[in-house]
Structure 1
Amino acid sequence: MELVWGTTDFVIAGQPYQGFPILLWDSMESCTQANQFFRHYLLRGQIGSKQSWPSTGRALYDFFSFLQAHDLDWRDVDRGEAKSLVAAYRDYCLVTCELARNTTRQRLTYICKFYEFALEKRWVKRLPFGHEERAFKRETSFLEHVDASGGKALVKDVMPRRHQLLPKYLSMSHTKSLLAVADNPHHRIMIQLALRTGLRRNELATFPVAYVVDPDKAGGTERNLRIRLDPFDRCGMETKGNKVRDIWISRNFMAELYRYVTKLRGERASNGKDQKPLLLNHLGEPYGSNGKSLNRIIIEIGTRAGIEVHTHMLRHTYATHILSNLQRNPEKGLDPLVFLQRQLGHSSIQTTMIYLHLVNEMADEAVLAYDDELNEMAGAA
């Protein structure tokens, strides 16, 4: 029998649950223990966003498929070998499949949660992993002076160590090249919206046309307009964790969005119903699959420009260049890092601080380039 995975819909106490992961053998026999875990782990709110549910299903599906391919039983936690089942799967992900460390960590998180649930249910006698003490980078806080952890914590020993990789972003020249080949006006406005707001993929796909206004009638004299991203205003906006946040859009770009809505969007909107999102595909429908189809368009445009790019890289591009500009030209009373955190919707400023490393890297490259030019001038003399 071969293992397969999919999704199912059901209702509990009048609450609908759609896209719920389920594991099955190809004979349609249920993989009972895994599916019990899904109901326990997901329905109790361990993962806040239902959009992350498929990741849990795929992680366990891949793990069980790995065990099946190697004729291993997931309950065999006392194998008598130095490498446990979970450690073997970790190495398979990292070495054979060459997956990113963060991807592997995410999969192992769900697998370890499954085994903890299995131990609680007495399906296994012990966990196929242990714990070890590792150093970690602490976030500064008000109660830092009473933190007795010493910058160390107990973690699961099967987890790959974190190697912080700086996000990739586009230089200004690459950004211009990308826009130059985006000859489709609908695709061009999509890229512009990403580059000028730093919105996530699903936020771009659901950004409501109702948020676009005529800047000449918006009132005020400020150069930027404040837009509230509110998942509860019935306009269709989706944000991570359904959190409400305000972003700033320049009047100039709002004018460009308004021209797009009044002059061009109708070409696509007329093909379908009265759709809430600003961005529509060639059928006049919203970009589905959590914005993945939108992402494919951006990748294809990047390929034509000879640039490796995806939607989230445009978010990194916005964040890096905005932070760099704010540091070079500080606004009175404005903390560049706090502003960027709010614009991007980061829960922790520690997440935002990674862009400081990128900005410092940009500065280092600029200094080296300047030094090289001076050396060339001195050599020519």
Structure 2
Amino acid sequence: MELVWATEQFVIGGQSYPGFPILLNDNMESLIPANEFFRSYLLRGAIGSNRSWPCVGRALYDFLSFLQAHELDWKDVDRGEAKTLIAAYRDYSKAECGLAIATIRQRIHYICQFYAYALSRGWVNRLPFTVEDRRSNRAKGFLAHVDASSGSVSANDLMPKKQQHLPKFLNLSQIKLLLGVIKNHHHKILIRLALKTGLRREELATFPLAYVFDPKAKGITERNVKITLNPYDGTGMRTKGQKVRDIYVSSEFWQEIANYVRLYRGERSSLTGNEAKTLFVNQMGQHYSGDGKGIERIVRDWGKKANLKAHPHMLRHTYATHTLAMLQRSKGDVDPLVFLQRQLGHSSIETTSIYLHLVNEIADEAVLDYDRELNDSIEFP
């Protein structure tokens, strides 16, 4: 019997969920334990974005296919072998398939969640893994004095140790080189907004035109303006996990955004009969679809022209690294890491702390000077 992995349009309570994973056998019959787990795990909101749901389906499909190919039963948690089923799959994924550690970790996480659900349903009598304490190299934050973890974190014993790859970012000369080759007004303002705010690709693609205003016309004299990214305000704004957050942008650059809308955006938006609600539109005058994949291509293509490897998330890393370095040197009243966490929309400050390692590795002061061409000094309200 071969397994078939697919997605379906799942509807519950009048709510439609496209791309919902489903496992079938070769007779197209439902693999009930796995599919019950999908409904329990995904519909309770364990993963914020349904675009990530297929990852859960893929993890379980690969694991169960591996077991089937080796004539193993997923319920055999008390097998006499020294290596558990999940450990065997982990080692196979690394040695035979050559999967990245990050991919293996993600899949094992979902597989372990499946077994936790199976235990709750009485399908297995125990979990095929245990939890152990591991030393953490995480950076100490502003709550270090009340942290009782002693630098350790809990992890299941099957999880391969996480490899820390520092994110890549552009230095100042590379940023100037990138911006210097861009001749398209629409592309340049988009990339500059990414460099000045750290917005994700999807956030750039769905950034609403309704958020744009003319600071001078409103008599705004503050150095920075606060923009609230709200997925629930009816503008079409989308953020990761649909979380509301505020970002701060210099009023000088926001004036440039307003000028861009007045002088350039109209020529594109007029190409279609339906006025797009997004700030940025493609060459057909329509909003960027597919969570901004067109923006990915734009950044990469201009990067190639500048002989650089660039992509939207690298622009986010660039903003974060230089902004954190600047805030650390300014010695203001606001904790730099906390501000950056909120600006980027990270759920955990541990995610933001990765940029501390990048800042510490920067030796050239010229790289640290993310000057006013790219990032005006931030003053806090």
Range with greater deviation from structure 2 (220-229 or 192-201): 220-229
Equivalents in 2 of 1:92, 1:314: separation in Å?
36
- Secondary structure class of the residue paired with 2:216: helix
Equivalents in 1 of 2:227, 2:151: separation in Å?
39
Following superposition, the deviation at residue 211 of structure 1 comes to 1.2
Following superposition, the deviation at residue 257 of structure 1 comes to 1.8
RMSD of the alignment, in Å? Answer: 2.8
Kindly indicate whether residue 206 of structure 2 is the aligned counterpart of residue 206 of structure 1: yes
The answer for the alignment partner of 1:15 in structure 2 is: 15
% identical aligned pairs: 58
The answer for the alignment partner of 1:372 in structure 2 is: none
The answer for the alignment partner of 1:261 in structure 2 is: 261
- Secondary structure class of the residue paired with 1:5: strand
Distance of aligned partners of 1:345 and 1:32 in 2 relative to their CA distance in 1, 3 Å threshold? same
Q: Deviations over 1:216-241 (max 9, x none)?
A: 21322222221111112111111223
The answer for the alignment partner of 1:379 in structure 2 is: none
The answer for the alignment partner of 1:370 in structure 2 is: none
- Secondary structure class of the residue paired with 2:283: coil
The answer for the alignment partner of 1:230 in structure 2 is: 230
Following superposition, the deviation at residue 338 of structure 1 comes to 2.9
The answer for the alignment partner of 2:305 in structure 1 is: 304
Kindly indicate whether residue 129 of structure 2 is the aligned counterpart of residue 161 of structure 1: no
Following superposition, the deviation at residue 362 of structure 1 comes to 0.5
The answer for the alignment partner of 1:325 in structure 2 is: 326
Q: Which runs of 5+ in 2 are unaligned?
A: 367-381
Q: Deviations over 1:249-307 (max 9, x none)?
A: 12332232223222322333233322211122233332223223422332333233322
The answer for the alignment partner of 2:105 in structure 1 is: 105
Distance of aligned partners of 1:137 and 1:324 in 2 relative to their CA distance in 1, 3 Å threshold? closer
Equivalents in 2 of 1:26, 1:306: separation in Å?
49
- Secondary structure class of the residue paired with 2:281: coil
Equivalents in 2 of 1:225, 1:218: separation in Å?
12
TM-score, normalised by the number of residues in structure 1: 0.84
Equivalents in 2 of 1:326, 1:154: separation in Å?
32
Range with greater deviation from structure 2 (294-303 or 235-244): 294-303
Distance of aligned partners of 1:307 and 1:95 in 2 relative to their CA distance in 1, 3 Å threshold? farther
Distance of aligned partners of 1:124 and 1:178 in 2 relative to their CA distance in 1, 3 Å threshold? same
Equivalents in 2 of 1:298, 1:3: separation in Å?
39
Distance of aligned partners of 1:172 and 1:152 in 2 relative to their CA distance in 1, 3 Å threshold? closer
Equivalents in 1 of 2:344, 2:263: separation in Å?
29
The answer for the alignment partner of 1:64 in structure 2 is: 64
Q: Deviations over 1:323-352 (max 9, x none)?
A: 22233344x534433322221122333332
Matches within 5 A, 1:287-298: 287-298=288-299
Q: Deviations over 1:132-188 (max 9, x none)?
A: 3323357768696583x5444542111011333322111122222322333333322
Size of the aligned set, in residue pairs, is: 364
Distance of aligned partners of 1:46 and 1:297 in 2 relative to their CA distance in 1, 3 Å threshold? same
The answer for the alignment partner of 1:136 in structure 2 is: 136
Equivalents in 2 of 1:215, 1:46: separation in Å?
40
Distance of aligned partners of 1:59 and 1:298 in 2 relative to their CA distance in 1, 3 Å threshold? farther
Equivalents in 1 of 2:134, 2:301: separation in Å?
42
- Secondary structure class of the residue paired with 2:62: helix
Q: Which runs of 5+ in 1 are unaligned?
A: 368-381
The answer for the alignment partner of 1:172 in structure 2 is: 172
The answer for the alignment partner of 1:347 in structure 2 is: 347
TM-score, normalised by the number of residues in structure 2: 0.84
- Secondary structure class of the residue paired with 1:110: helix
The answer for the alignment partner of 1:371 in structure 2 is: none
- Secondary structure class of the residue paired with 1:265: helix
- Secondary structure class of the residue paired with 1:228: strand
Equivalents in 2 of 1:70, 1:309: separation in Å?
42
The answer for the alignment partner of 2:376 in structure 1 is: none
Range with greater deviation from structure 2 (104-113 or 340-349): 340-349
- Secondary structure class of the residue paired with 2:205: helix
